[in-house]
Amino acid sequence: MSKLVELVDIVTNFYTYEGTVKALNRVSLTIEHGSSFGLVGESGCGKSVTARSIMRVVQEPGRIEGGSVLVYLDETDETKMIDLMKQSEDYMVDLRGNKISMIFQEPNAALNPIMSVGEQVAESFLFHRKQELCKKVLSELNSPDCKTIYPLRKLLQSIYMAADENPDSFGLKLMSKIPVLKWWRRRMKQEALKQSAEIISKLGIPNPAEVVKLYPHNLSGGMKQRIVIAIALACNPVLLIADEATSNLDVTIQAQILELLRELKQKEISSILLITHDLGVVAETCDRVGVMYAGNLCEVADVKDLFSHPRHPYTRALLDSVPKLSQEGELKSIEGNVPNLVTPPPGCRFHPRCPYRKGICSVELPELRNVGKNHQAACHVLPE
């Protein structure tokens, strides 16, 4: 399989009053075309910051301080890669929601309460797919059964012809700002709404033509999450980042959404980066898993490998501390707490809680190294 996104030594810091929070400490990982990569860890370990760093949307007071995000959009040609860290903001704006899109954690916060859900899905078409929309509207205007009166049709045709050539031209932008004149966009919006109804129906929402007119408060949690997914999927992204997409949902709704993601994975999108704290979700939906702890990636492996032969002490402890269906006897817990990232422990950040620690652990930060086929772990000791 070929690479799609490669993170190399990403460092992201947050500059707070209490000091510098070293949220990501040289994280490197690779997501392949057609795979679903799961990122697990406890809260505050840097999962979401990793996702936000890929999109370059780290909030204030955070800053990406180093490293590179290499994106291989062309599956066949590995040399045609783009380093997102070196691109302009304009390029990123064009990329977000188009080639790489993201589902945010809380659907209530991700949706705008004063826009109908149809408009919100249509926004991504209007932003990234202007030319296609213009072509559609033009073909509609040119068709013989167009009912618009002749002079108006002629006018609209000329405007849309100009828009088709260069949708960002100054004249059109100016026209979109002036009342009355901005009505030329109406047909484009209607077309976008039509397309959003289509994408909403694909996500298994009954009666899409009615649903697009509703507002977020009219919908239930599961439906809202579907709308958020629809927004993310609107432009057929190559990578979908799902940041805790199911954490706030009930078990039965979570099962629906996971099933949906799995179906979409087969049909629509090539790769998913699934961020979650729930090991069960990862076991069921992902091919590859990365385990994060306190801003470091400590183990990367195929899902079967990771659950059957975890190598890093933290992964083992984490797997042991989750109650299982076949749980007998006492649940093992990890002693202590997650460290404060303003003053992380020296060396391996897990060593104060690690039962296998040695002298070197508190001195030197271990690097990810191969411990098996497609299996890397960052540990000095690697207990058997």
Partner 1 sequence: MQKILELKRLKKHYPILGGVLRKKISSVRALDGIDLDIYRGECLGVVGESGCGKTTAGKTIIRLHTPTNGSVYYYPEGRGPEGRMDIASTKISALKRLGIRSKLQMVFQDPTTSLNPRMLAKHIIAEPIKVQENVGGRELEGRIIGLLQLVGMTRDHLLRYPHEFSGGQRQRIAVARAIATNPEFIVLDEPTSALDVSVQAQILNLLKSLQEKLNLTYLFVTHHLLVVKYISDRTAVMYLGKIVELGKTRDIFSRPIHPYTHALLSGIPIPDVEHKQHRIILTGDVPSPVNPPQGCRFHTRCAFSVDRCRMEDPDLAEVENGRSVACHRQHEMEKLVSDRFG
76 binds partner 1 (CB under 8 A): no
Cis bond before residue 61 (omega within 30° of 0)? yes
Pairing of β 36-40 and β 19-32: unpaired
Q: Are 297 and 59 in contact (CB under 8 A)?
A: no
Asked if residue 250 binds partner 1 (CB under 8 A), the reply is yes
Sheet holding 62-71, edge to edge: 19-32, 3-16, 62-71, 82-83
Q: Looking at 79, 325, 359, 370, which residue binds partner 1 (CB under 8 A)?
A: 325
Contact flag: residue 287 with partner 1 (CB under 8 A): no
- Interface region with partner 1, contact rule CB under 8 A, candidates 84-92, 181-189, 264-272, 304-312: 304-312
Instruction: Confirm or reject binding of residue 266 to partner 1 (CB under 8 A).
Output: no
Output the CA torsion 276→279→282→287 (10° steps). Answer: 130
Of the pair 193, 289, the CB lying nearest partner 1 is at 289
Q: Specify the stretch interacting with partner 1 by CB under 8 A; choose among 98-106, 137-145, 149-157, 248-256.
A: 248-256
- Interface residue with partner 1, options 60, 145, 168, 330 (CB under 8 A): 330
Tell me which of 43, 76, 88, 143 binds partner 1, using CB under 8 A.
43
The total of other beta-carbon atoms located within 10 Å of residue 62's CB is 19
Indicate whether 319 belongs to the interface with partner 1 (CB under 8 A). yes
Nearest to 271 by CA among 26, 107, 23, 32: 32
Please report which helix (H) or strand (E) contains residue 8, including its range: strand 3-16
Closest contact distance (angstroms) between CB of 259 and partner 1 is 6
Binding segment toward partner 1, per CB under 8 A, in 80-88, 186-194, 325-333, 356-364: 325-333
332 binds partner 1 (CB under 8 A): yes
Query: How many residues are given for the chain?
Result: 384
Rule CB under 8 A: choose which of 18, 259, 364, 367 binds partner 1.
Answer: 259
Q: Is 278 a residue that touches partner 1 (CB under 8 A)?
A: yes
Is 279 a residue that touches partner 1 (CB under 8 A)? yes
Stretch that binds partner 1, among 50-58, 67-75, 76-84, 271-279 (CB under 8 A): 271-279
List strands edge to edge, sheet with 271-276: 100-103, 239-243, 271-276, 36-40, 288-293, 296-302, 375-377, 369-372
Which range binds partner 1 by CB under 8 A, 89-97, 119-127, 218-226, 341-349?
A: 218-226
Residue 251 found at the interface with partner 1 (CB under 8 A)? yes
Whether the CB-CB separation of 141 and 157 falls below 8 Å is answered with: yes
DSSP H or E segment with residue 38:
strand 36-40
Q: Does 283 help bind partner 1 (rule: CB under 8 A)?
A: yes
d(CA 311, CA 372): 10
Q: Which residue has the tokens 């790489």?
A: 100
Q: Would you give the DSSP letter of residue 237?
A: -
Identify which range of 69-77, 108-116, 176-184, 244-252 contacts partner 1 by CB under 8 A. 244-252
Under the binding rule (CB under 8 A), the answer on residue 222 touching partner 1 is yes
The region of 143-151, 233-241, 252-260, 373-381 touching partner 1 under the rule CB under 8 A is 252-260
Asked if residue 374 binds partner 1 (CB under 8 A), the reply is no
Distances from the Cα of 75 to the Cα of 43, 97, 288, angstroms: 34, 20, 19
Least distance (Å) between residue 356 CB and partner 1: 16
Number of neighbours of residue 172 by Cβ within 10 angstroms: 20
Q: How far is the C-alpha of 46 from the C-alpha of 25, rounded, in Å?
A: 9
Task: Tell me the number of residues near partner 1 by CB under 8 A.
Answer: 43
Residues that bind partner 1 (CB under 8 A): 42-43, 220-223, 250-256, 258-259, 277-284, 303-304, 307-308, 317-319, 321-325, 327, 330-334, 337-338
